[in-house]
Amino acid sequence: MVLEKLGDALKGTLDKITNALFVDEKLINELVKDIQRALLQSDVNVKMVFDLTKKIKERALKDEPPAGMTKKEHLIKIVYDELVIFLGGSGAKVEITKKPFIIMLVGLFGNGKTTTAGKLGKYFLKRGNKVALISLDVWRPAAYEQLFQLGKQLNITVYGNPKQKNPTEIYKEFETEFKKYDVLIFDTAGRDALSQELISELEDINKLVKPDESLLIIGADVGQTAEKQAQAFHDTCKITGVIITKMDGTAKGGGALIACAITKAPVKFIGIGEKVDDFEHFEPERFVGRLLGMGDLQSLLEKAREAISEEDAEDMSKRLLKGDFTLIDLYDQMRAMNKMGPLTKIMELIPGFSQVKLPKEALQVQEGKLKKWKFIMNSMTQSELEEPDDITSKRIDRISKGSGTSHTDVKELLKQYEQAKKMAKMMRGGNLQKMMKKMGGKLPGM
Ligand code: GDP
Ligand code: MG
């Protein structure tokens, strides 16, 4: 699916907020960079990306969270809100305001005009309207036949005349029939590029048909040039909306969608496949929710609530500072740290530690290893857990057999414990430099 990568990247960004201990300028900067990278990789225009992230940053730094909302939840809400606005806000609809309501589809070759004519026909038919499709594409030999087959499948009348080479004449031929319908959908001819010839053809049709909606059909694979296309077609026949097709494809797609969503011609529908039912009304809120892997803002906020709180983390850093922990404490801490990301975040809670750069690998334990540690600890006696220093090589053998791990695994756990204990001691003693040296990290200016 188009934008899948963007979705994944944005989900990762949200996880980062969720798992962060607190919202500070550093987190906001990181977030902004992540969003920029994600959007640029999805082919979104550079200027738009920077406008968006500037807004997110400004709000994140200035706006106070409303009552009852934490800073973290508020930050998620800001990202969500701004992405929705970025994609067109509350969403634009096609409202049937008169009868017959006239819709004209325009666009270049192969973008999906004819297919979309059928999809739109079905959409309005399902909503109780009497619909007709009219083929004004005199350029492609099989254009009428393609639309005719679609109409047959959907039980929708199709008007057209494959022998007639002048679209104006086709219109006139059936004009008296049109009064019978609630919605008329005109399929027009395209070209490979927006030529003067196409422009004057569309201008003629436009004058005659007087559409209530002129919808531009653009494939998601068109990318950033969608914006230019939208503008050019808009100048020719006042585009009132855009339909992005082929959203099911593998194209990056962000360019087309976002370029159009924020132009004067908003995205009204998206095509998500070749079949007539592969068609949806475009609603930015729902779309962003889906992009972020959640139904809506509420579920995003709930997720943030489940993550570790600032108080929990502070508690943990205090325990760490006290330094008298057992193997069980070590396990608990490692597990909690994994849940919230690198230990560096906890370090920031300790005065003087915020500028210290610690090597991440030294401080994070992989999920798989944690599981192993749990098995190992289950095979230890209470006194071994409380006094790991007393564990002899013989005991290690017993523990590794009992837990189905190796001698080395048990030793590694004990070594990790030793290191953590030493680290805590040094933290208490404030001997930062020594500790950094030990851990391979660096203090600023060292
Ligand atoms: P036109 O030249 O603009 O009338 O384009 P067509 O309607 O003939 O469509 C061109 C090709 O794109 C056809 O093979 C369609 O089946 C395909 N197509 C149209 N819309 C979609 C869509 O949303 N998804 C996919 N995958 N293919 C589409
Ligand atoms: Mg066509």
Closest CA to 415 of 388, 433, 437, 439: 388
Same domain, 349 and 428: yes
With beta carbons less than 8 A apart as the criterion, state whether 385 and 330 touch.
no
What distance in angstroms lies between residue 276's CA and the mean position of ligand 2's atoms? 15
Residue 321's pLDDT is 60
Mean pLDDT across 3-20? 80
Same domain, 265 and 392: no
**Residue 96 within any structural domain of the chain:** no
Comparing 113-127, 277-291, 297-311, 345-359, the range with the smallest average pLDDT is: 345-359
C-alpha separations of 40 from 50, 129, 227, 255, 440 in Å? 10, 42, 15, 9, 35
Last residue of a domain, one of 264, 291, 318: 291
**Residue located nearest, by CA, to atom 19 of ligand 1:** 112
pLDDT at 211: 97
The pLDDT tens digits of the residues spanning 345-399 come to 555 555 444 444 545 554 555 667 777 888 898 888 888 888 888 899 999 999 9
Dump pLDDT digits (tens) for 22-34: 788 888 999 999 9
Q: Are 271 and 138 part of one and the same domain?
A: yes
**Which candidate, 248, 267, 265, 249, places its Cα nearest to that of 257?**
267
Q: What is the pLDDT of residues 28-67, one digit of tens each?
A: 999 999 999 988 888 788 888 899 999 999 999 999 888 7
| Global confidence as pTM | 0.67
The 10 Å Cβ neighbour count of residue 368 is 8
- The tokens for 208 are 């005659």
Expressed as residue numbers, the domain containing 318 is 297-438
How many Å lie between the centroid of ligand 1 and the Cα of residue 111? Answer: 6
Residues 146 and 257 in one domain: yes
Q: Which atom of ligand 1 is nearest to the CA of 146?
A: 8
Domain count, the chain: 3
Judgement on whether residues 109 and 8 belong to the same structural domain of the protein: no
Angle made by CA atoms 235, 3, 25, in degrees to the nearest 5: 100
Where does a domain end: 291, 325, 355?
291
- Site to substitute for ligand 1 among 113, 245, 248, 257, most atoms within 8 A of C-beta: 245
User: Of 291, 313, 330, at which residue does a domain stop?
Assistant: 291
Question: Which atom of ligand 1 sits closest to the CA of residue 117?
Answer: 7
What CA–CA distance (Å, rounded) separates 271 from 282? 9
Kindly tell me the burial class for residue 346, based on how many C-beta atoms sit within 10 Å of its own C-beta (0-12, 13-18, 19 or more).
buried
Rounded distance, CA 228 to CA 252, Å? 17
Helices (H) and strands (E) in the chain, counts: 21, 8
**pLDDT for 67:** 75
User: What's the pLDDT score for residue 134?
Assistant: 98
In a domain, 111, yes or no: yes
> Mean pLDDT for the chain?
81
Contact (Cβ atoms closer than 8 angstroms) between residue 71 and residue 22: yes
Which residues contact residue 324 at a Cβ distance below 8 angstroms, ignoring those fewer than 6 apart? none
Return the CATH number at 59: 1.20.120.140
Determine whether the shortest distance from the Cβ of 114 to ligand 1 is under 6 A.
yes
Specify whether 36 is located in the same domain as 164: no
Residue 142 has pLDDT above 50, yes or no: yes
Question: Do you find a cis peptide bond into 351, omega within 30 degrees of 0?
Answer: no
Three-class SS state of 243: strand
pLDDT tens-digit profile of 215-229? 999 998 887 788 888
